[in-house]
Structure 1
Amino acid sequence: MAEITTIARPYAKAAFDFAIENNAVDSWAEMLNFAAMVSENETIKPLLAGGLASNKLAELFIGVCGEQVNEQGQNLLKVMAENGRLEVLPAVAQQFVELCNEWAKEIEATVVSAVELTSEQQQDISVSLEKRLARKVKLNCSIDASLVAGVIITAGDLVIDGSVRGKISRLSDTLQS
């Protein structure tokens, strides 16, 4: 995983810098997301790992993407194809979004709870995280009944485990040591 991230980072950074310079962050995010979906297609995926010449692969990939990718996006895809890196497009798209969020001072937080949270609870969590992280927070909520009660919040590198399952696990670890 770290290797893919390391490979994807320079491409995402280059695309992001170009998008910022040209005031085209949203269109680049859409292009990269679309190209990432194409690269994950079951028909395309084997071609990325296969022995096609890089120029043929780039031509094929750009042909599949069609009008969804502009000339500059096509240039990025050509460079990635030449370097045999088209298969990391999903990671490039993900890192591009992370760079956009960093630039916009936004962060996505995942909240997993034992029961569905009310809008008031979601708002309270969002406000608390915004204060703690000094960023605008976008919540993605899901339910996992195995937590018993409480929530697990993940925002970037921050993980807050306030679930009963987590507390029981920590108590068990303490008792066993």
Structure 2
Amino acid sequence: MKLDKYTVGKRYGKALFELAVEKQAIDDIYQDLLTIRQIFKKVPDLGNILSDVRLTGDEKEAIMQKFAQGFEGVVNNFLWVVYEYNRVDDLLFMIDEYERRYDSLNQVALGTITTAVPISKEKQQEIEAKVADIFGYKTANLTPVVDESIIGGVIVEADHQVIDGSLASQLNGLRAALSKK
């Protein structure tokens, strides 16, 4: 049975994080993983290329050599294990899992902030501070999303919870209350 990308990402990311804790290299490995993510942004098909059956083993290994040469120690070994198990196309899922564990350890809440119009950086920081306080984290890192359908207000999703302060939600609640009468 072939595992889906999310399951693979969770397993490998967890294993890497546990090894990073053991080696006391959590931050260094995290920085290397951010670099790898940037490489994948510049070359989005890298994972597919290194998994492509149309390339010979030597061709893929030459590409992998260039890719892995910028990393040392645990990260270099990790990249080669991922390559050997033909999972390079799942690498971003692994990085996501490591980052989720890293943020949890550092008490950083991740999520989104949805508004009808773009908000200023200052307003975003103000909302992030409130969300961190509400959920009991040191900080919150919320990705802004613009969705005109919410009409106005804010929807915050973080730590698997939703704070819905949108005008659309309030109007729907009012509509439901009025329809009961």
Give the distance between the partners of 1:62 and 1:173, measured in 2 at CA.
Answer: 61
1:162 maps to what in 2? 165
Q: Which residue of 2 aligns with 1:109?
A: 111
Indicate the residue corresponding to 1:95 in structure 2.
97
Once the two structures are overlaid, the 10-residue window that deviates more, 166-175 or 140-149, is 166-175
- Number of positions where the alignment pairs a residue of Structure 1 with one of Structure 2: 173
Sequence identity (%): 22
Instruction: Indicate conservation of the 8 Å contact 1:110/1:139, yes or no.
Output: yes
CA deviation map 1:151-170 (0-9, x unaligned): 11011311222212334456
Compute the RMSD of aligned alpha carbons: 3.1
Aligned-partner residue type, residue 30 of structure 1: Q
TM-score, normalised to structure 2, is 0.76
Counterpart of 1:145 in structure 2 is 148
Asked if the contact 2:47/2:91 (under 8 Å) is kept, the reply is no
Amino acid at match of 1:23: Q
Distance 2:120 2:30 in 1: 30
CA 1:164–1:62 in structure 2 vs 1: closer, same or farther (change >3 Å)? farther
Structure 2 CA distance for aligned equivalents of residues 147 and 80 of structure 1? 42
Q: Following the alignment from structure 1 to structure 2, what is the Cα–Cα distance between the partners of residues 87 and 170?
A: 44
* Residue number in structure 2 paired with 1:132: 134
1:98 Cα deviation from its structure 2 partner: 0.6
- Amino acid corresponding to residue 28 of structure 2 in structure 1: S
**Cα deviation, residue 35, structure 1:** 2.6
Could you tell me how far 1:150 is from its partner in structure 2? 0.6
Distance in structure 2 (CA, Å) of the matches to 1:63 and 1:143: 39
Shift of 1:19: 1.9
Q: Is the 8 A contact 1:39 1:86 kept in 2?
A: no
Give the 3 Å change call, closer, same or farther, for CA 79–53 of structure 1 in structure 2: farther
How far apart, in 2, do the equivalents of 1:10 and 1:46 lie?
20
Which residues of structure 2 form unaligned runs of 5+? none
After alignment, is 41-50 or 154-163 more displaced? 41-50
Relative to structure 1, the CA distance from residue 118 to residue 4 in structure 2 (aligned partners, 3 Å threshold; closer, same or farther) is: closer
Report the alpha carbon displacement of residue 79 of structure 1 after superposing the two structures with TM: 1.1
Distance 1:112-1:3 versus aligned 2 partners, 3 A rule = same
Unaligned regions of 5+ residues in structure 1, if any? none
